[in-house]
Amino acid sequence: MFTDEVLMSAERVLEKCRRAGILISTAESCTGGLIVAGLTAIAGSSDVVDRGFVTYTNEAKYQMLGVSENLIKKVGAVSEEVARAMAEGALARSDSQISISVTGIAGPGGGSADKPVGLVHMGLARSGQPTHHLRQVFTGDRSDVRNATVLSSLFFLNSVL
């Protein structure tokens, strides 16, 4: 199901979290839970993975993560601000000390000149630290965009850990 690269990256994230004594959570929109699935594909991940929020709709982002409805109306669900708010919401609503969020346009439709298909915003929140952001534009079909997002999010986590 997952490439060797994804599994190796997930193992590195889990090991770094173990060494630091921290739990991780995810808040996913365009990936639909693939990041937490990649982490939990590794045996023994239950000592590090706290939970995953799949917030595909705007309502789920409001209800599960506490993302402001006004924020989404102002900047759109696929934005830096919402990615940061999703990561912060996951951190606040879990027992984790680090969280990763993703929101994007996987395609094939839904893109625009401002927000093309393949655009993904990632947020990374860590207890007591500023929230980080990463913007990526991936190419390929829906599956390619989702898989690239999973791998990029694991690289992002590894770079911060």
Q: What is the 3-state secondary structure (H, E, C) of 29-58?
A: CCCCCHHHHHHHCCCCHHHCEEEEEECCCH
Question: What is the residue type of 5?
Answer: E
Give tens-digit pLDDT for 28-86: 999 999 999 999 999 999 999 999 999 999 999 999 999 999 999 999 999 999 999 99
Q: Tell me the CB-side half-sphere exposure of residue 95, using CA atoms within 13 A.
A: 8
Taken in order 160, 88, 100, 106, is the CA torsion positive or negative? negative
Is domain 4-160 annotated with CATH 3.10.129.10?
Answer: no
- What's the order of all strands across the beta sheet hosting 119-126? 49-54, 24-28, 98-104, 119-126, 132-137
Look up the pTM and report it: 0.97
Q: Is there a contact between 137 and 116 (Cβ–Cβ < 8 Å)? A: yes
What pLDDT score does 1 carry?
Answer: 81
Question: Across residues 4-15, what is the average pLDDT?
Answer: 98
What pLDDT score does 149 carry?
Answer: 98
Calculate helix-pair angle for 142-160, 4-20, nearest 10 degrees.
Answer: 30
* CA dist list (Å): 142 to 11, 25, 105, 150: 25, 24, 9, 13
What pLDDT score does 134 carry?
Answer: 98
SS3 content of the chain, % helix, strand, coil (to 5): 45, 20, 35
Peptide bond into 108 cis (omega under 30): yes
